[in-house]
Amino acid sequence: MSWVSVAGRTAALCAVLVLCTEAALADPLGFAEPMRFPGAASVDLFASRGDAANAADAIAAPLRRQVVYYATKEAPGTIVIDPAHTYLYFLLGGGSAIRYGIGVGRQGFTWSGTETIRRKAEWPDWYPPSEMIQRQPYLPRAMAGGAGNPLGARALYLGNTEYRIHGTNQPATIGQHVSSGCIRMLNADVIDLFDRVSLGAKVVVLGPMQDQAARTHVRSNASASVPKGAAAATIGSAGPNVAASR
């Protein structure tokens, strides 16, 4: 092979690489599937005990995970969400529940109704829905799961809606009305809930007239040991009642 032939092929290859690079820079995210790296360390390393403790310390004591008395006719394994008081309850039965502090939908993005857990995901990828992109066009079209992902360490998908119960990389938003309708939890809390709840579990989101928070009181502190074996109820979804257009 002559030197001229080699030089020609090298030049052609360089031209192709330049064109591919320019295309990637023009649309770095697009709608491509997030990249995965076989053999990479698990991102669960970001959910260290130290990080979890620091996040819990950043929120008010009533919002920290704890066992409470909760009077309800719902079955053990059901999730009850009280947006007005930013609490989520996982029912244990016998009048007990684990209460978690949460972040909920801001004004205009509140909803109520009954759903079921359709899917569970660890360190989920994020694909902002088209309605959110219309409101915030600067958002990425896709983001791989990890410590910087706004869905946090775990996600529980509610029926056929766009809503999820998920973690957050912003602990200060717990106890606030800030989301577009999803339910936010501390990463340590959503991992705990993820391990307890079953697919098909019933999720009840209370409306303004269904407030039951006054019937609860703290039964033990956040470090209480609770078995992770409660059975989940499998009940059909009645669909959410959106208080205002999303």
Give the separation between CA 156 and CA 175, rounded to whole angstroms: 19
Task: Pick the catalytic residue from 14, 85, 166, 217.
Answer: 166
Residues of the chain with confidence (pLDDT) below 50: 3-4, 6, 13-48, 212-218, 220-225, 230-239, 241-246
Q: Residue 149's pLDDT is what?
A: 82
| 205 Cβ contact list (under 8 Å, min separation 6) | 81, 83, 111, 112, 113, 114, 115, 240
**Torsion angle defined by CA atoms of residues 109, 111, 116 and 119, in that order, rounded to the nearest 10 degrees:** 0
- Please give the helix or strand (H or E) that residue 14 lies within, else none: helix 3-26
- So what's the pLDDT on residue 46? 43
**pLDDT tens digits, residue range 235-245?**
233 445 444 32
Which run of H or of E encompasses 53? Answer: helix 49-57
Q: How many helical (H) and strand (E) elements, i.e. helices and strands, does the chain have? A: 4, 13
Q: Which of 85, 177, 182, 217 is catalytic?
A: 182
What confidence tens digit (pLDDT) does each residue in 94-137 have? Answer: 999 999 999 998 887 788 999 999 999 999 986 776 776 777 77
Cross-strand pairs, 164: 157
The DSSP H or E segment spanning 154 is strand 154-158
Residue 128 DSSP SS3? coil
Residue 20 catalytic? Answer: no
CA distances from 121 to 1, 41, 51, 157, 174 (A): 54, 18, 21, 8, 21
14 in catalytic set: no
- Alpha-carbon torsion 109, 112, 118, 119, what sign? positive
The pTM score is 0.66
> What token pair was written down for 118?
């359709």
pLDDT at 22: 39
Q: What is the pLDDT of residue 85?
A: 94
Residue 17, both tokens? 């690489």
- pLDDT for 140: 64
Q: What one-character DSSP code corresponds to residue 89?
A: E
